[in-house]
Amino acid sequence: MNLALVMQQGPNPFKIITNILTSPILKLAGELLLLLIIILWLSLVYWTFADASRRGAIRFLWALVALVFPFVGTLIYLIVRPPEYALDARERELELAVLERELRSRVLLCPNCRAMVEKDYIICPECNWQLKKPCANCEKPLDLNWKTCPYCGVDQRSGKINW
Ligand SMILES: [Zn+2]
Ligand SMILES: [Zn+2]
């Protein structure tokens, strides 16, 4: 069947295509697609900015590149961005944990009134809560549940040296 015959028989195919292309639904769909692309582009600009600042790159420059060259700019950034070594992140995490523990071991709180106390306090100065007990022999402050003084080795109940 040749084309000329088809065109003679049915409605003009070019007119159908033109009608579809100019229909309001297609126009709306096209506008929505454009809007989505713009939103995606701006999100990528923001992502590039955030990622660059996290990795210590020149964030304003990279955000500008991503803005001026939609999509391609971010792609280039992805290729040349400085790597964030997993080891660095792990190390930072460990450092934080150590700092936190140090802080916690230095700042002691009274379990009763939450006042700050020193580790050798026997009584909380704010509420008189018993924090430690003095060793029966050397009078160093001991935890209430310690059975033997770690400073002089004296058993707290029998009063005898435990070694
Ligand atoms: Zn207290
Ligand atoms: Zn002792």
Please tell me the least confidently modeled range out of 82-91, 117-126, 146-155.
Answer: 82-91
Which of 71, 82, 63, 76 is CA-nearest to residue 37? 71
pLDDT in tens, 2-55: 555 555 556 677 888 787 777 888 888 999 999 999 999 999 999 999 998 888
Against a cut of 0.75, is the pTM above it?
no
Q: 101 CA distance to ligand 2 centroid (A)?
A: 27
Q: Which residues surround ligand 2, an ion (CB under 5 A)?
A: 135, 137-138, 149, 151-152
* H or E element, residue 64: helix 59-68
Q: What is the pLDDT of residue 153?
A: 92
For residue 35, the SS3 value is helix
Q: 142 CA distance to ligand 2 centroid (A)?
A: 8
pLDDT at 78 over 80: yes
Q: 80 CA distance to ligand 1 centroid (A)?
A: 57
